[in-house]
């Protein structure tokens, strides 16, 4: 005859496995949603003053230096945005992996008492 302890333990393990599965599924859904909804900030239209640089008294070399400086600022902004997106995507990939392992644990717990 099966002991009452075994029956109660299997009942609690069943609840725990279903809870882990739901938490894992929720983490997976959240991670996938956030991972595929990343969009970089839209680039602003180029400032016309960068290309025209019509301040009186500027030589052609000064205009070119100004243009280069402004374009380098924009490149730095894009690079920092790219790094931020990459670190966020790594975070959400880890969330997806954690959710997967929780679901695997739930499957394992389900088969303990069957």
pLDDT in tens, 13-36: 888 888 888 898 888 888 888 877
**For residue 54, what pLDDT is reported?**
60
Residue 94, pLDDT score: 87
CA 81 to chain centre: 13
From first CA to last CA, the distance across the chain in angstroms is 16
Q: Name the residue ranges covered by the structural domains of the chain.
A: 4-112
Separation CA 7–CA 18 (nearest Å): 17
Compute CA 91 distance to the chain's CA centroid, rounded to the nearest angstrom: 5
Tokens 């929720």 appear where?
Answer: 26
- Position of tokens 């009452």? 4
């Amino acid at each position: 005859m099966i002991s009452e302890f075994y029956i109660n333990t299997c009942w609690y393990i069943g609840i725990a496995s279903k809870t882990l599965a739901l938490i894992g599924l929720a983490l997976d859904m959240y991670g996938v949603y956030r991972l595929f909804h990343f969009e970089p900030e839209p680039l602003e239209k180029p400032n016309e003053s960068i290309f025209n640089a019509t301040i009186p008294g500027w030589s052609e070399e000064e205009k070119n230096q100004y243009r280069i400086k402004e374009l380098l600022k924009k490149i730095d902004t894009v690079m920092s945005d790219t790094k931020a997106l990459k670190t966020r995507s790594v975070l959400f990939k880890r969330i997806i992996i954690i959710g997967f392992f929780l679901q695997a644990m739930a499957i394992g717990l389900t088969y303990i008492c069957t």
